[in-house]
Amino acid sequence: METSGRKIFIGGNWKSNGDRKFVKDHSSYLKSLNFDSSKCDVVVCPTFIHLESALNELNGSNILVSAQNVSMNDNGAFTGEISAKQLKDFNIHWTLIGHSERRQFFGDNEDVIGKKIKIALLNGLNIIACIGEKLEERNEGKTLEVCVNQMKTIVDSVGSNWDKVVIAYEPVWAIGTGKTATPEMAQEVHQQLRNWVKENVNEEVASKIRIIYGGSVTEGNCNTLIKEKDIDGFLVGGASLKSDFAKIIASYEQKL
């Protein structure tokens, strides 16, 4: 298989799940897994309240810890928000931005997402920027149009910090539904996105940027999805809370 030179990226988005016991037990399970961290980044995203304990539990492992969200503002009078500066202060170096649940339930529109990307990068965070179409948009043939529109926000906000960005393509209809895009469907969008980046940013960024797939990834489908040329890893929700995540991490070996 032709290798892309891009390091595989496997993210586990715990969403609003877990308690202290889960964080302790699951982290110690994850810590026991063997993977080659020079070939694969593994990043878990606990809730804000569990970030510090996950960091402590995973200390000494190669697993990185990410926030699920970040404030669009700096420190200040923004009740309930967590700033990029505060994440850095806790030694958190990653955050998700623009997850579809944030877009759907918490008003994260393109303007908000752009601001979050800018402030996260300004503070030196790495970002997993999420995009993806809804079912009706796919059915109307608007998948690329929707994703490109979301990509424009990312391009306008990233500046020259592309080495700090991972794109997660997550079709909304596949998230938490058990309906996964087929490898062909996912590859088609990933390839179109990479081509779009080539034309609208440059060839170097297009060849280096990691585009990961998310939406009902399981231990059953990860090995076929990962074989697609433009799929550089996964963002995993439900299955990242279970021991299945070990098999999903191990899928990077299919790409070696």
What's the min distance (Å) between Cβ of 135 and ligand PGA? 14
- Active-site residue flag, 133: no
Does residue 127 touch ligand PGA according to CB under 6 A?
no
Per-residue binding letters, 12-31, with ligand PGA (x by CB under 6 A): -x------------------
Q: What three-state secondary structure class fits 34? A: coil
Query: Which residue's entry shows tokens 């060849």?
Result: 207
Does residue 170 touch ligand PGA according to CB under 6 A?
yes
What residues from 62 to 81 belong to the interface with ligand PGA (CB under 6 A)? Answer: none
Nearest to 48 by CA among 90, 101, 102, 103: 90
Active-site option among 101, 133, 170, 228:
170
Does residue 175 touch ligand PGA according to CB under 6 A?
yes
What's the min distance (Å) between Cβ of 103 and ligand PGA? 11
CB of 181 closer than 8 Å to CB of 171: yes
What's the min distance (Å) between Cβ of 44 and ligand PGA? 12
Does residue 171 touch ligand PGA according to CB under 6 A?
no
CB of 84 closer than 8 Å to CB of 122: yes
What's the min distance (Å) between Cβ of 59 and ligand PGA? 25
Nearer residue to ligand PGA within complex by CB, 132 or 206 = 132
Nearer residue to ligand PGA within complex by CB, 104 or 195 = 104
Nearest to 227 by CA among 198, 207, 256, 249: 256
Give the C-alpha distances (Å, rounded to integers) separating 226 from 80, 100, 156, 178, 187.
38, 22, 29, 18, 10
d(CA 135, CA 47): 28
DSSP characters over 112-156: HHHHHHHHHHHTT-EEEEEE---HHHHHTT-HHHHHHHHHHHHHH
* Alpha helices in the chain, H assignment, sequence order: 20-31, 51-57, 84-89, 100-105, 110-122, 135-139, 143-158, 183-200, 203-208, 222-225, 244-250
- Active-site residue flag, 253: no
What's the min distance (Å) between Cβ of 248 and ligand PGA? 10
Nearer residue to ligand PGA within complex by CB, 13 or 157 = 13
Does residue 146 touch ligand PGA according to CB under 6 A?
no
d(CA 113, CA 120): 10
Q: Nearest-CB residue to ligand PGA? A: 237
Nearer residue to ligand PGA within complex by CB, 170 or 219 = 170
d(CA 127, CA 117): 7
What residues from 198 to 237 belong to the interface with ligand PGA (CB under 6 A)? Answer: 214-217, 235-237
Q: Note the residues at the interface with ligand PGA (CB under 6 A).
A: 13, 170, 175-176, 214-217, 235-239
Task: Report, as residue numbers or ranges, the catalytic residues.
Answer: 99, 170
